[in-house]
Chain A
């Protein structure tokens, strides 16, 4: 479904992503891990076209080359993402945040909107109903009319997820969806994500620092370090990979200690 080949990005002299290949199957749940600064978020930014990749890189989605397409076009093709810093629209209502996500699926044009045609209002009612249902699914229905800025951090993460879901994506990329949440909330969020994934048959790519999330839910895990892909495989295999352990914890620590640490987390 998503085919990334030879993807690179440099910022000045710094190589953020170097010749990364990534292939995600339809319906797969892919985890991406790596230490801070390993290029995970840059990878997302490249796929969603926030950054332009270096020449020679190629990103294909559903068999079509989407390298260098404008971000809104990528979104329209069915790639939704969340941001590490959420970037929800804090001054808009919770419901409006979802409606923004649904922008690509609005079925009226500028002309009809300007004159306030009857079908615009009918469509708006339909959109709102649909988004309220989705809000109910992520558990924020009561807050629909509240400004998103008034939500708690956990609710904001749910909202960011909801907004991405409102795009009706084929591929959903989550950038540290559980960061900063209490263990209870991590479980809650994880359950919601998995329920959504099953219900809509989503393909998921998750960047996560909380290894428990990755280990429990992902089919395959890709490990990045210094912009390079250093390992890929099922969670169980990754856990024991020598290079992964090194990347995370440095060479000094014995493998045994690391394993103990990973088990504990």
Chain B
């Protein structure tokens, strides 16, 4: 987001170097994530890391459609269910390996995302939320009533990924499947949201009429936002399905889970590029730390949402951004003043 002149060294550097240099933070991040599980005290924390990363993928996806494009969807959790069950069916009933089931489930969920997006052509705000809620609940009820996928008891014995004939069943081994996927997911969302597409999404959120007048094809970008976010949901769903012990149940895809997801995006920062990541990490940790007060969890989360909306409407990401933007603005002004003097 740096305008010209604010990043002198990089500005003067040759083009090729600049293109490469933008991968450096990602490589550093990758290295940190690579050693992270070895800092864990016990395998439970490795398990937790996997849950966090899967939630990151889900929340990054939701941040695209909800945070950026401003489409109030409650259907994201159902898309995760579709991804999870598609992957489970493909691998258990059709014997597909995880490495094919994952992309296939992602694609199928993308298509389902397009269907969820269609009501968004005509509906907005609370009405869209209700329409997507209806879709989400019908997916859950359909799963609950379908014996083929284990109905309300659940879908058991979904195999873990195999690598060179060995199952990646332990939490730490699975981490090295989830982590690269999550990192690539974050990177891609970064590319999308920093590009003109991300700007178009934000314009939709703020004022779709003004966006259209500026030449943005509103329907195309709404649909695009739904489809891209559905890819994320499907991918996260598939990763949930194959995580040890390989069990799925429609009860994991209720409105409670959706509220938790929304909380991640709201707390992290609606429309902030890192909003989904920050939110997912924090909420999953809060969720884990408050394990002794589960019965109050929804109340706690509700309170956090209200407080965030009231006192931190741009979320934690927004607070960080504002801090740095103000700093830069002051620095710029000072520099100008000293030149004038």
* Direct contact between the two chains A and B in their complex (CB within 8 A): yes
Does chain A have a CB within 8 A of B292? no
Does chain B have a CB within 8 A of A221? no
Query: Is the Cβ of B199 less than 8 Å from the Cβ of A99?
Result: yes
Residues of B with C-beta under 8 A to A145: 1, 3, 6, 325, 328-329
Q: Is the contact region of chain B dominated by helix, strand, or loop, or is it mixed?
A: helix
Assembly CA distance A153 to B194 (angstroms): 28
Query: Is the Cβ of A129 less than 8 Å from the Cβ of B325?
Result: no
Q: Is the contact region of chain A dominated by helix, strand, or loop, or is it mixed?
A: helix
Residues of B with C-beta under 8 A to A120: 191, 195
Query: Is the Cβ of B188 less than 8 Å from the Cβ of A87?
Result: no
Query: Is the Cβ of B213 less than 8 Å from the Cβ of A71?
Result: yes
Does chain A have a CB within 8 A of B162? no
Contact count band on A:
35 or more
Assembly CA distance A80 to B271 (angstroms): 27
Query: Is the Cβ of B197 less than 8 Å from the Cβ of A110?
Result: yes
A-facing residues in B203-248 (Cβ within 8 Å): 203, 206-207, 209-218, 224, 228
Query: Is the Cβ of A124 less than 8 Å from the Cβ of B195?
Result: yes
Return B13 CB to nearest CB of chain A, in Å.
12
Query: Is the Cβ of A48 less than 8 Å from the Cβ of B213?
Result: yes
Does chain B have a CB within 8 A of A195? no
B-facing residues in A50-103 (Cβ within 8 Å): 50, 70-72, 75-76, 80-81, 83, 87-93, 95-96, 99-101, 103
Query: Is the Cβ of B209 less than 8 Å from the Cβ of A92?
Result: no
B residues contacting the other copy or chain, number (CB 8 A):
41
Assembly CA distance A146 to B3 (angstroms): 11
Which of A70, A72, A76, A144 sits near B3, CB closer than 8 Å? A144
Return B66 CB to nearest CB of chain A, in Å.
15
Closest Cβ neighbor of A91 among chain B residues = B206
A-facing residues in B102-141 (Cβ within 8 Å): none
Chain A proximity mask over B154-187: 1 for CB below 8 Å, otherwise 0? 0000000000000000000000000000000001
Which of B22, B192, B202, B206 sits near A114, CB closer than 8 Å? B192
Q: With A116-B187, A129-B4 known to touch, is A70 a contact of B195 (CB < 8 Å)?
A: no
Chain B proximity mask over A121-144: 1 for CB below 8 Å, otherwise 0? 110100111001000000000101
Return B228 CB to nearest CB of chain A, in Å.
8
Q: Which residues of A contact B (CB under 8 A)?
A: 48, 50, 70-72, 75-76, 80-81, 83, 87-93, 95-96, 99-101, 103-104, 106, 108, 110, 113-116, 118, 120-122, 124, 127-129, 132, 142, 144-147, 163, 167
Q: Show 26 A/B contacts (Cβ-Cβ < 8 Å), sorted by A.
A: A70-B217, A71-B209, A75-B213, A75-B214, A75-B215, A87-B207, A89-B210, A91-B202, A91-B271, A92-B206, A93-B1, A96-B199, A96-B202, A100-B200, A100-B211, A103-B196, A113-B192, A113-B197, A114-B188, A116-B191, A120-B191, A122-B15, A144-B3, A145-B328, A163-B214, A167-B214
